[in-house]
Amino acid sequence: MQRPDTFSPQAGFVLTKAGHLSDFDEKVAISLYQPLIGPIAMALYLSLWQEVKDRALVTDRRLQLWLLDLLDIDIDQLFNARVKLEAVGLLRTYTQVDSLGRYYAYELYAPVAPDAFFKDDLLGLLLYDKVGEKRYDELVGQFSLKPVRRPEWQEITASFLEVFRFDHDLSKEPPAVVAAKSDMTQKEATRPRLGTGGGYDWALVKAMLANSNIQAGQLATHQEALYQIAGFYGFNRRILLA
C-alpha cells in the first residue's frame, strides 16, 4: 500500500486498547505473528502496548515523530508496519482532524488463541508460506495441547455452590456489581479483515457464471473471500475471471 501524504511525522496519535495483553499473548504474537509481519511491525506492536493506558484520553496525543525516534525508522516504515498489524487483526486505526491538526487513534488487540490461529485459513496459510513445512509443524507442536485423559478416571470436581455461600439475596445485585457488568467491556481478538472487492467487475463475473453450476447467490456469499485470495496470490481481474 502507498502511504498517503496525510500520514506524516507531524500527525498526532493516541492509544487505546480493546482488551489486555498477557505474557502468553505476547508469546503467541512473537511466535506466530512475527513471521507474517516482520520484526519492525512486531516492535511497533509491543512498544504501543507498553505505552497504552487503561483509560485513553485525546489529550495524551503525541506526534508520530516520537514513534520514529523510538524505533529508529522512517515514516514509510511506520506506515508499512501499521498496515501489517491491521491486516492480521492486531490493530485498528481511526483518524480525525481537529484544531490541532490530524491525529490517529490506534486501537490495540490481543492475538487470537493458537488454535484459532491455525484454524484460520488466511493466518495458517500465510504462516506456512512464510516459514515452510518444517517450522510450521514445529509451531503446531509447540502450541498443541494434549491433556491426559483415562477412561477409568471418575470426575469429582467441586461445583461453585458446593464451595461458596452468599450472605445476601442473589436476586438483588448490589449497585456496584451492576455497574461493573456495564463498565467491564472488552472486545474479542480479531481475525484478518477481508477486502471489499473493489476494482473487480462483479456484475461481469456473475454474468460469465450464469451458465455454470454455481448457484445464484454463491458469488455474493464468497465475494470477499475471492477478493482476498486474488489479492494474496496477486491475481489480476483477467486471471480471476479465467
DSSP string covering 151-185: TT----PPPHHHH---SS-TTS--HHHHHHHHH--
pLDDT of the chain along its 242 residues, tens only?
899 999 999 999 999 999 999 999 999 999 999 999 999 999 999 999 999 998 888 888 999 999 999 999 999 999 999 999 999 999 999 999 999 999 999 999 999 999 999 999 899 999 999 999 999 999 999 999 888 888 899 999 999 888 988 776 666 676 766 666 666 565 666 666 655 555 555 566 666 666 665 665 665 665 555 555 555 555 555 545 45
Residue among 4, 82, 98, 94 nearest 43 (CA)? 82
Q: How many CA atoms lie within 13 A of 71 on its CB side?
A: 24
- Length in residues, the chain: 242
How far is the CA of 180 from the CAs of 46, 110, 176, 219, in angstroms? 29, 22, 6, 44
Q: Of 2.60.40, 1.10.10, 3.10.180, 1.10.860, which CATH number belongs to 12-114? A: 1.10.10
Instruction: State the cell numbers at 36.
Output: 507474517
**Range(s) of the chain covered by CATH 1.10.10:** 12-114
Instruction: State the cell numbers at 189.
Output: 481478538
